[in-house]
Structure 1
Amino acid sequence: MNKTVLVVDDQIGIRLLLEEVIQQEGYQVELALNGKEALDKVTESKPDLMMLDYKLPIIDGSKLVKQLEEQGIMIPTIIMSGLPEKAKEDVENLQSVKETIGKPFQLNDIRELVNRMLSE
């Protein structure tokens, strides 16, 4: 079974770049541009990993993870943020958040992180 990564970011360039990089690693990619769209996609088909922007329109990243956890939905999540320290502090009590990475990020770091998270 192919593993699926849900990429949630309001910037189209980042969504498309991550989609390409993750697909090159052999995974399926779903895209969402805000927290509401991500919530709908998660309830439709539960992804194996979520790459989630911290600041999003409608429902932001930390609220989305909190909402999912309250519903008993635990998806390993990588939070992406231009302010990684603030984001890390904000999500430290959320069990689903496994990593917080700063933007801009290195593509090789993304490859390694996604492969490591999906092989655990």
Structure 2
Amino acid sequence: MGTTPKENWSILIVDDQLGVRRLLFEALKDEFMAVYTAGSGIEAIEQVQECNPDLVVMDMKMPRMNGLEVLKTLRQMKYDNPVIMMTAYGELEIVSEAAKMGVKKHITKPFDLKELRVLIKETLKETSIA
């Protein structure tokens, strides 16, 4: 596993559940140049300002500041890198609202880690061509 070169991209994982953040960090840290985590919307905004990740994977349902509010703030800050939304089954209104703010990809919880890895890499490759 250690012989596989890392992708030269940075990822920010945003989820209020520590277990989800740890799981995704562990699953992705060996594949990408940098994997950052944030446990709240405020932390996510701070991390984007500090690290400017190539992609954000963000839960939409979080206390205090939900994913749509974070997304709106990021877009106001001119952060135009791709965002992959994590949603619960049946949250079509959230997916629709996020799409209006430029989110093209989402994954429904619970999801398969392999599926998420593929989605992340496809999204990053699509945007790096543009």
1:94 to 2:82 alignment: no
Cα deviation 1:56-87 (Å, max 9, x = unaligned): 12321111111111222212000001144232
- The match for 2:3 is none
Cα deviation 1:37-63 (Å, max 9, x = unaligned): 000111112000000000112321111
1:27–1:105 Cα change, 3 Å: farther
What number of residue pairs does the alignment pair up? Answer: 119
- The match for 1:112 is 118
Once superposed, which parts of structure 1, at least 4 consecutive aligned residues long, lie more than 4 Å away?
A: none
Between Structure 1 and Structure 2, whose CA radius of gyration is higher? 2
- The match for 1:31 is 37
Distance in 2, matches of 1:117 and 1:70, equals: 22
Letter in 2 for 1:101: I
Q: Is the 8 A contact 1:22 1:114 kept in 2?
A: no
TM-score, normalised relative to structure 1: 0.90
TM-score, normalised relative to structure 2: 0.84
Q: Which runs of 5+ in 2 are unaligned?
A: 1-6
1:14 to 2:20 alignment: yes
Corresponding residue SS for 1:24: coil
Q: Percent identity?
A: 35
1:106–1:44 Cα change, 3 Å: same
Distance in 2, matches of 1:98 and 1:28, equals: 23
1:69–1:26 Cα change, 3 Å: closer
CA root-mean-square deviation: 1.6
- The match for 2:72 is 66
Q: Is the 8 A contact 1:7 1:19 kept in 2?
A: yes
Q: Is the 8 A contact 1:36 1:58 kept in 2?
A: no
